[in-house]
Amino acid sequence: MNAQNFDPKALRDAFGAFATGVTVVTTRDAAARPIGFTANSFTSVSLDPPLLLVCLAKSSRNYEAMTQAASFAINILSEVQKDVSNTFARPVEDRFATVDWRVGDNGCPILSGVSAWFECAMHEVVEAGDHVILVGRILAFDNSGLNGLGYARGGYFTPNLSARAVSAAAEGKIEFAAVLEREGEVLLLGDRPMILPACLGGDGNPTEVLANHLENLTGLPVTIGFLYSVYEDKISGFQHIVYRAFAGEGEPRAGRFVRPDAIEAGAVKDQATFDILSRFALESSIGNFGVYFGNETAGKVHSIPMKGARS
């Protein structure tokens, strides 16, 4: 695809492959009312002088207030603040009514419980196509040490949960598996019983090991997403780490794509596989995914909503 015929949605999806943190940008409008919006197009710029930037769409309802503001703040959300991200990403009339915040020394709203915050003077507003780049000179900041909330490919992820999963599984025999999805269907191998595509764990990055296995198995381009399920099979002694994964176009060399909500318990190899597929069918229908931790019979799903962050 060349620059003459870019599909905007495909380009946005490609940008979304880059994992970022999630921030809430805040300031006050001309009437001194607090305003804020969720953004993941944030980055540091310079230590001397201390500068950062965030991008803002010209179509944003906050465009006029933000570009005319003398100062603004960047609030980097912690991994337990998905609800805050969603609140400031939606057209809610009073976004600040549902969050705890205070006024910073330079007049900007500072949210409580964030990983870090920066209060900035407006240094420069740079034209950039259908966006503007707000460059801020940092006047004050604080770092709480809390883990940040991650965002990529349209969904949140929590780095701490991922680290816990791999650390726990590393103590035993490991199997990597995938819920390999495409257009609402999931790739399964075999006939009855059907199984998820999987490989034994070994040296190297788990997502790279799994991606290589899936591409060799299916002959399709594969992108590994986020953790989906981590459980111990107490009978076999295996730790199972299951990721969401996304398959490209083409006919798979092995397996076939089926609708997860059409699969019966007896059609797959065990109850754990059936539970994974049933949960995936339900979560896909409501757009609210989670990560399961436990064993093959009992555990807990840590909810990770899928909608919210945007620039």
For residue range 80-93, what is the model confidence (pLDDT) as tens digits?
Answer: 788 898 889 887 77
213: its two tokens: 């296995």
pTM of the predicted protein model: 0.59
Region 210-222: mean pLDDT is 93
Name the nearest CA neighbour of 116 among 42, 19, 32. Answer: 42
Region 275-284: mean pLDDT is 90
Question: Between 238 and 218, where is the model more confident?
Answer: 218
> Which pLDDT does position 10 carry in this prediction?
79
> Which pLDDT does position 2 carry in this prediction?
54
> Which pLDDT does position 309 carry in this prediction?
44
pLDDT for 92-151, tens place per residue?
A: 778 898 899 999 999 999 999 999 999 999 999 999 999 999 999 999 999 998 878 877
| 119-123, 239-243, 279-283 — most confident range | 119-123
Q: Show me where the domains of the chain are located.
A: 8-152, 161-305
Question: Between 6 and 114, where is the model more confident?
Answer: 114
Residue 258: pLDDT band by 50, 70, 90 thresholds?
A: very high
pLDDT for 290-311, tens place per residue?
A: 777 777 677 777 665 444 444 4
99: its two tokens: 């969050």
> Which pLDDT does position 56 carry in this prediction?
94
Name the nearest CA neighbour of 196 among 213, 183, 209, 208. Answer: 213
161-305 falls under which CATH superfamily? Nucleoside Triphosphate Pyrophosphohydrolase (3.90.79.10)
Instruction: Please determine, for residue 154, whether its predicted confidence score (pLDDT) is greater than 80.
Output: no
Residue 164: pLDDT band by 50, 70, 90 thresholds?
A: low
Instruction: Please determine, for residue 79, whether its predicted confidence score (pLDDT) is greater than 90.
Output: no
Dihedral sign (CA 83, 84, 85, 90): positive
Mean pLDDT, all residues of the chain: 85
Region 44-66: mean pLDDT is 93
SS3 of 126, please?
A: strand
Question: Between 79 and 3, where is the model more confident?
Answer: 79
Alpha helices in the chain (DSSP H): 8-15, 63-68, 82-89, 159-169, 206-218, 271-286
Which of 3.30.230.10, 1.10.1040.10, 2.30.30.100, 2.30.110.10 is the CATH number of 8-152?
Answer: 2.30.110.10
Cβ-Cβ contacts under 8 Å for 272 (sequence gap 6 or more): 231, 233, 240, 296
Region 201-216: mean pLDDT is 81
> Which pLDDT does position 103 carry in this prediction?
95
